[in-house]
Structure 1
Amino acid sequence: MNLSTANLGDWAGLPFFAQDLPAIATQLQNDTRNILPPSDQVFAALERTPLAKVRVVILGQDPYPTPGHAHGLSFSVDPHVKPLPRSLNNIYKEMISDIGSAPMTGDLRFWADQGVLLLNTVFTVPAGEANGHTALGWQRLAHQVLTATSAKPCAFVLWGKQAQSLAPHITSPKDGTNPENGHLMIETAHPSPLSVRRGFFGSKPFSRINTWLSNRGEPPINWTDT
């Protein structure tokens, strides 16, 4: 697997790429399994949403392990994928409840183009083996990305305990007296079928993010592409 960092822009300055990526790339090169997503899409989330444009971070776990699904952005799938992965289907159910509609396909790249960083904690996965690359060291990149995006007020969406465990890497600015001057933190249950009814449904993340952005004088996110 040949991992190119040529299109990473400001993200390329993160220490991970000099200190950690060479060893991970070697491990991937020696892994004879089918690795997802394709090598040219591993860093797609960072390539699609430059650091300076990040307004929202939605933190996922690892890519979908089904061939043809993952394309480098958390929760997103290629537009032809039917049926939708169950977590994404539940996200759309909550979106319909929250703001009245949802996208026509599972392709969320139009979110990324508006400053929504769809960040996975782990960037690769062997086909059919969810969490199969959790020991490679990808998490250090996620930690550094969270710290970098914390430099200015940002909305962070942490669904589930695994995502919430990374909250310490989200640093200042934080202002409890004036939330618009600090981060918006949305921490609820994960949208997977196992936990979705433990606080994900009814959490209204999409309208909450847009209210926060509007209060800051920023344009809201078009969540539905309509």
Structure 2
Amino acid sequence: MSDPAIQLHQESLPAAWAAAIPELQTQYDSIKTKLDMETDIRPRRGLWFEALRQVDPAAVRVVLLGQDPYHGEDHGIQQAHGLSFSVPEGVRPPPSLRNMLKEMQADIGQSRSSGNLMPWARQGVLLLNASLTTRGGIAGAHSKIWPAFTHALLHDLGQRELPLVFILWGAHAQQFRSLIAPHHIVISAAHPSPLSAYRGFFGSKPYSKTNAALHSIGLPEIDWSAAQ
């Protein structure tokens, strides 16, 4: 069995992102000390930076900003695995993700057999949560720990010279819009949560709008139904 002391420190910022945005390492060094004594962090250590690990800085085409990792489990499997809105293979989609998949079918006539959105990440969709961790069973437990890190990351992305597409759902995500320069394309709507999905998320056509935006700036479209 692994030494718990080693497990405690196994999470590290991906080197490519630390090199691209040096401030991130400084911010994370401070965050680590605040989380060192936590025992039930979601996602587990080793997955905190999965969104960054799956997409190199230069490969980002789309930023889909979530708020907080899932804090629950499904049949004993943690729902959170480091990608906003996504769940691991075999985990049933939570309500917001179910609504996302429902809108995908209505928008582009395509479906997904899984709530694991890793294939999106592999195409350059940065599935980023504003808070990269939370405590098991408690939503928003670390919301005061991550803001400076997220601000530095989104400011860098938002000020890039080459245009990107940002998807901002709900008031929490839309508060970051001021960090995004005007030459980028922002697609915003209500959050897919059951509390707000019928107030502007359903019918917002985010998938077709994102692909149209990518086409307009000369970038490949996303295959939203890709299985791998």
Q: Normalising by the residue count of structure 2, what TM-score does the alignment of the two structures yield?
A: 0.88
Q: What residue number does 2:111 align with?
A: 102
Which of 27, 35, 57 aligns to 2:41? It is 35
Q: Normalising by the residue count of structure 1, what TM-score does the alignment of the two structures yield?
A: 0.89
Structure 1 segments of 4 or more deviating over 6 A?
Answer: none
Give CA-to-partner distance per residue, 1:158-213, whole Å, 9 cap, x none. 00000001111213xx2xxxxxxx22111111000001111100000100111121
C-alpha contact 2:24 2:153 (8 A) present in aligned 1:
no
Percentage identity across paired residues of the two chains? 43
- 1:13 is displaced (CA, Å) by 4.2
Which of 44, 47, 57 aligns to 2:53? It is 47
C-alpha contact 1:5 1:12 (8 A) present in aligned 2:
no
C-alpha contact 1:8 1:46 (8 A) present in aligned 2:
no
**Which amino acid letter does the alignment assign opposite residue 150 of structure 2?**
A
C-alpha contact 1:66 1:128 (8 A) present in aligned 2:
yes
Instruction: Answer with 205-214 or 115-124: which moved more.
Output: 205-214
2:63 maps to 1:62? no
- Aligned equivalents of 2:139 and 2:221: distance in 1? 33
- SS of 1:57's equivalent in the other structure is strand
C-alpha contact 1:11 1:51 (8 A) present in aligned 2:
no
2:11 maps to 1:4? yes
- 1:139 is displaced (CA, Å) by 1.6
- Aligned equivalents of 2:59 and 2:87: distance in 1? 22
Give CA-to-partner distance per residue, 1:84-112, whole Å, 9 cap, x none. 10000000011000000221101101100
- 1:6 is displaced (CA, Å) by 5.7
- Aligned equivalents of 1:119 and 1:209: distance in 2? 16
- 1:20 is displaced (CA, Å) by 2.2
5+ residue gaps, structure 2, are: 1-7
Q: What residue number does 1:164 align with?
A: 174
Give the 3 Å change call, closer, same or farther, for CA 20–118 of structure 1 in structure 2.
Answer: same
C-alpha contact 1:70 1:76 (8 A) present in aligned 2:
yes
- Aligned equivalents of 1:163 and 1:16: distance in 2? 21
**Which amino acid letter does the alignment assign opposite residue 140 of structure 1?**
A
What CA RMSD, in Å, does the superposition of the two structures yield over aligned residues? 1.5
